[in-house]
Structure 1
Amino acid sequence: MNSLRVLDLAIIALYLVAMIGVGVYFARKNKNPEQYSSASGSIPGWAIGLSIYATFLSSNTFLGVPGKAFGANWNAFVFSLSMPLAAWVAARYFVPFYRSTGEISAYTHLENRFGSWARTYAVVCFLLTQLARIGSIFFGIALTLQALTGFSMEMVMLVTGVCIIIYTVLGGIEAVIWTEVVQGIIKTGGALLILYLIADNMPGGIGRIASIGQAQDKFSLGGFAPDFTQSTFWVVLLYGFFINLNNFGVDQNYVQRYHTAASAKQAAKSIWLCVWVYVPASLLFFIIGSALFAYYQVHPELIEAVKLKVAAERLPLTATAAQISQTAAQLLPADYGDKVMPHFIVTKVPPGLVGLLVSAILSAAMSTISSGMNASATVFTADIYGRYFQPHLTGRQTLRLLHIGTVVTGLLGMGTGIAMIGVKSVLDVWWELSGIFAAGMLGLFLLGVISRQTGNHAALTATIIGVLVILWMTFSPNLPESLAAFRNPLHKSMIIVVGTLSIFLVGLLLGQVWPRKPTKAAVPTLKKEPVY
């Protein structure tokens, strides 16, 4: 079993205690649900932007992105390149829309537009997305700490989960945002430190890394042919645009932050700050993955332990050493990419710096998990309990429900992370699950705010059709050979693209032949307001 030195353990313990201390500090201010959920609109735009950046820069990025670059190339970086366009749409249209509604929940207006079913459907999609996100992040942090300490992944998730729950329950959204500001800086510094250590240990330095990467085609962004059956440049670009549009425009994690800003202008600036910081930061993690690939190409003997461990996990417990070695020799870089950076930290990082890097990885996990827990608790309180069980809650009852919802979300997220143990790529799992759950939510939202003609029945019909399309695209690849003609021919990243467009376009068409009945109630639409 690997073990951290006392200095590293002390640094990690100090970081965890400091995070809980932040929660205790802000707990004094959380006397009402408005302060707990929106900080009463008192957060400056730059802090919100760094908070959103920290949410994007989760452990899925910290571990999954280097793993993808190690095992393949920079194709996934196209996701980051799609962010500016999605940010432009969100800053120009979505931010003013949400600020004008005054609703803390992103989904309240769907009930006003289409009925209670639309709100409930969006809430369910959001909560499932959050469980997938939180679970994948718990899995990522457990993967790293297991390599460093030898403790079971379940134990790692339990300990880190309890710490995250404590400071999130105590501190509310204000604690989440300010700790994410600090965590965003820690993560970026940790990534720069890792890249420096790789280059310092690499014979020939950055030049050798670049030459090996170029020779092995590690810097490719994917094919540019109009092929949507593979992960080409265009497939990832479309996937990234729709996912980022969902993040900035529909995801409660981000919408809730818009309400913490003093003005719509500050909220819009926070989106752009996130984009301009995240795009180069994500490139940094792709460079780290390529650098690790080059390093272990020069020193292949140093990665054998990882390959043997992965091979042993794939074989029965009765497998012999010869069988494990034979399986390890057949593994491709993509089979063990997620485990490479933790292995490098274990074997090549000096004492003390290991503690700093683990704290950076912990911060990558904690920022996204805490924001997801807070947002999920807000949605549960406003859109489920307050809507269906007890509409007239007192401030004290609402605050108690927010606390309970935060705890429950954290526990369910830990359970989801445990269920993910054994997956090959944490980034692939997160991308696939988020695409499935977000597709219907985004399509319905766009239909509600763009179309004036589509009514309740037309929207419900379009949503049912869209969900069936999503289910077919998700599960048809598993059909037997006798039904191969009915399999989805498109790449799985196209699920959110086709699913969103199915709901939106079918809803527009049905709105023309089955128009909504005119009412006196105002129909919420996307309005461009001066936010710059």
Structure 2
Amino acid sequence: MHSFGVLNWTIVVSFLVANLALGYFLGRKVQSAKDYYLGSRETPWWAIGISVIATYVSALSFLGGPAWAYSDGLSALAIHLNYPLVIFAVITLFLPFFYNSGVASIYEYQERRFGPTSRSVMSLIFLISQALTTAAILYATAIVLQFVTGIDVVWAIIIITIIALIYTAMGGMLAVIWTDVFQAVVLFVGAMVIMFTLINNLPVPLAEALAGLKAEGKLSAVVTDPDITRPTTIWSGVIAMTLFHITVYGANQMMVQRTLGAKTIGGAKKAYLLMGFAAFPIYFLFFFVGVLCYAYYGGKPFENDNEIILSFATEASIPGLMGILTAAVLAASMSTLSSAFNSLATVSIVDFYKKFSDVPEGQGHYLKMSRWLTIFWAVVVIIPAIMYSNTEGSILEVLSKIGSFFVGAKLGMYALGFFSKHTTEKGLLVGVAVGFVMVWYVASYTDIAWPWYCAIGGGTNILVSIIASLIWTGRQKDWSPYSVVGQRQKFAASGEAIAQDGWYRLPGMVDRVSWLLLLFFAASIAVLLLLEAIV
């Protein structure tokens, strides 16, 4: 792209240098493997919360969100309405187990609850699914570089990987969090600039454009059609995708790992609460930009929908706009990549290398190996990233489909760990295997929409695991101390305080502020219904 210009290049290079410099400065504080995984445990909760948001809201949302809304309208937003419900469940059930235990890998819970094999299975599922997810993020970022410079997408993928790898190896989790804060500001400023520029450049007044969008059904965000073959309905969003996102935020090492570095459990919970309240307006912004693009372009088809926002930024011809957009997407995505590389290395070390190697323990050795494994995973994700380059639909939708094959197993394993008395490791592993087969069958031989794969896989896993456990090992006399009931018994017997600074440490206890999440969820649906009604 020869018209990119000196100003735009200056903006992009300045942002990249600022991120690398910040990563280098904070990375000097990394003295041990624990620092590399969790940071200093002195990071304020709001920084961790912004980091959680920035990690999940990356180029996939900036490019894929509008691309999805361009084709499906605001109905695609139904997939992301559930975050208040998701965060309610995560901070009530998941976080207390993980934070109280002081673990670096959340999959250590599986070993304590069921046994070492289940831990290894869960860790392996994470490594595979996260590698595929990271590859999708890498590809989405490569689209930007290809669009801007004209460089082949394969070379763009390789270049971005090298840059993100250098940044990650220097920084550790502390640098990841603080650069996320900086990059989130850049990303959302860029999104707001794009939205207002779109509104000012619409071929007709905004009110007229919205009326036209309504007539074509593009503003119908709450679709009550009970058809389970349709992916973007209120039922798939509220039921199926709530279960999906609970595993993304509650059973995903990359998301939970940064909260384990909070000063207190209250800080960890507040970090997640920030996502619970911020997710809806953020995703509404990205999807609303998509429908505005539909109005701007008159619904014309694109060879690759993920380039819609980039095409508009080019056509707007506002000095520096393309540079701001490119820098925002690149910076946010490399932040997400660095988080992913860090968590992949953490799980590889904690769940496999430490357990199965005979190397004497030493923080210096593990820090060195963590960095080598960071390099390994950066190389691995290049392969599926190149494969994604043949994808023409929304990369955000593609990513969600891929993730749906894995989350059912995670959902079932944690649900059984929390609430089942009689499930044992042998039965659990049978359930996981049958659940995968069921999801494969549904995906291959039925028209059921992908958001339901998690519920189907998780439900199958739970049912089969319980039956297999009862047949194989029989009824258990006592509750596991790592179940919700077992935790209640443990706290009662020890006299340990169930709360710290007003925040519950005991799993299953609902913090007062969490009830506001449910009110916010209802208000979000009301806003969407009102939007369509008043246009």
CA distance in 1, matches of 2:289, 2:372: 39
CA distance in 1, matches of 2:336, 2:38: 17
How big is the shift at 1:350?
1.7
Is structure 2 residue 389 aligned with structure 1 residue 456?
no
Does the C-alpha gap of structure 1 residues 264 and 516 become closer, same or farther in structure 2, counting only changes over 3 Å? farther
**Residue 265 of structure 1 aligns to which amino acid in structure 2?**
G
Alignment-derived partner of residue 427 in structure 1: 396
Note if contact 2:80-2:237 (Cα within 8 Å) is conserved in structure 1. no
Alignment-derived partner of residue 187 in structure 2: 187
| TM alignment of 1:19-418, pairs within 5 A | 19-221=19-221, 223-231=223-231, 232-297=233-298, 307=302, 310=303, 336-390=304-358, 392-418=360-386
How big is the shift at 1:39?
1.1
Q: Secondary structure at the match of 2:482?
A: coil
CA distance in 1, matches of 2:474, 2:50: 42
CA distance in 2, matches of 1:57, 1:430: 13
**Residue 394 of structure 1 aligns to which amino acid in structure 2?**
G
CA distance in 1, matches of 2:215, 2:167: 47
CA distance in 1, matches of 2:310, 2:214: 24
CA distance in 1, matches of 2:474, 2:175: 44
Note if contact 2:421-2:478 (Cα within 8 Å) is conserved in structure 1. no
**Residue 293 of structure 2 aligns to which amino acid in structure 1?**
L
Q: Secondary structure at the match of 2:39?
A: helix
Q: Secondary structure at the match of 2:455?
A: helix
Alignment-derived partner of residue 498 in structure 1: 456
Q: Secondary structure at the match of 2:326?
A: helix
**Residue 296 of structure 2 aligns to which amino acid in structure 1?**
Y
CA distance in 1, matches of 2:43, 2:58: 22
Does the C-alpha gap of structure 1 residues 293 and 18 become closer, same or farther in structure 2, counting only changes over 3 Å? same
**Residue 351 of structure 2 aligns to which amino acid in structure 1?**
D
Q: Match for 1:442 among 411, 418, 429?
A: 411
How big is the shift at 1:36?
1.2
How big is the shift at 1:87?
0.5
Note if contact 1:60-1:137 (Cα within 8 Å) is conserved in structure 2. yes
Q: Match for 1:470 among 439, 442, 448?
A: 439
CA distance in 2, matches of 1:338, 1:71: 11
Note if contact 1:3-1:149 (Cα within 8 Å) is conserved in structure 2. no
Note if contact 1:386-1:392 (Cα within 8 Å) is conserved in structure 2. no
Q: Residues 279-337 of structure 1: CA distance to partner in whole angstroms, max 9, x if unpaired? A: 1011001110011110111xx8xx6xx84xx3xxxxxxxxxxxxxxxxxxxxxxxxx42
Alignment-derived partner of residue 319 in structure 1: none
Does the C-alpha gap of structure 1 residues 518 and 512 become closer, same or farther in structure 2, counting only changes over 3 Å? closer
Q: Secondary structure at the match of 1:472?
A: helix
CA distance in 2, matches of 1:74, 1:412: 35
Does the C-alpha gap of structure 1 residues 428 and 340 become closer, same or farther in structure 2, counting only changes over 3 Å? same
Note if contact 1:23-1:169 (Cα within 8 Å) is conserved in structure 2. no
CA distance in 2, matches of 1:352, 1:342: 13
Q: Residues 63-118 of structure 1: CA distance to partner in whole angstroms, max 9, x if unpaired? A: 00100111121222112211111111111121111111111101112123322221
CA distance in 2, matches of 1:22, 1:145: 22
Note if contact 2:8-2:321 (Cα within 8 Å) is conserved in structure 1. yes
Q: Residues 9-66 of structure 1: CA distance to partner in whole angstroms, max 9, x if unpaired? A: 1111111111111121112110111111111311111111111111121111100010
Q: Residues 440-468 of structure 1: CA distance to partner in whole angstroms, max 9, x if unpaired? A: 12211221232121112211221221121
Q: Secondary structure at the match of 2:40?
A: helix
Counting matched residue pairs gives 488
CA distance in 1, matches of 2:44, 2:338: 20
CA distance in 2, matches of 1:98, 1:215: 49
* TM-score normalised by L of structure 1: 0.87
Q: Residues 342-380 of structure 1: CA distance to partner in whole angstroms, max 9, x if unpaired? A: 111122142322111111111231122111111111000
Q: Residues 186-244 of structure 1: CA distance to partner in whole angstroms, max 9, x if unpaired? A: 11111000011111112344223312211211112363132212223212333321221
CA distance in 1, matches of 2:202, 2:434: 54
Identity within the alignment, %? 27
Does the C-alpha gap of structure 1 residues 273 and 367 become closer, same or farther in structure 2, counting only changes over 3 Å? same
Note if contact 1:121-1:441 (Cα within 8 Å) is conserved in structure 2. no
**Residue 463 of structure 1 aligns to which amino acid in structure 2?**
V
Does the C-alpha gap of structure 1 residues 429 and 168 become closer, same or farther in structure 2, counting only changes over 3 Å? same
Q: Which runs of 5+ in 2 are unaligned?
A: 489-497, 504-510, 512-535
Q: Which shows bigger deviation, 59-68 or 209-218?
A: 209-218
In the TM superposition, structure 1's runs of 4+ consecutive aligned residues that sit over 3 Å from their partners are: 509-523, 526-530
Q: Residues 257-290 of structure 1: CA distance to partner in whole angstroms, max 9, x if unpaired? A: 2211011111111111012122101100111001
**Residue 411 of structure 1 aligns to which amino acid in structure 2?**
V
Aligned residues: CA RMSD: 2.0
CA distance in 2, matches of 1:40, 1:519: 41
Note if contact 1:70-1:290 (Cα within 8 Å) is conserved in structure 2. yes
Q: Secondary structure at the match of 2:285?
A: helix
**Residue 463 of structure 2 aligns to which amino acid in structure 1?**
L
Does the C-alpha gap of structure 1 residues 3 and 235 become closer, same or farther in structure 2, counting only changes over 3 Å? same
Does the C-alpha gap of structure 1 residues 129 and 151 become closer, same or farther in structure 2, counting only changes over 3 Å? same
How big is the shift at 1:435?
0.7
**Residue 66 of structure 1 aligns to which amino acid in structure 2?**
P
CA distance in 2, matches of 1:146, 1:223: 36
Alignment-derived partner of residue 328 in structure 1: none
Alignment-derived partner of residue 532 in structure 2: none
**Residue 343 of structure 2 aligns to which amino acid in structure 1?**
A
CA distance in 1, matches of 2:317, 2:194: 8
How big is the shift at 1:515?
4.5
Note if contact 1:56-1:278 (Cα within 8 Å) is conserved in structure 2. no
Does the C-alpha gap of structure 1 residues 139 and 27 become closer, same or farther in structure 2, counting only changes over 3 Å? same
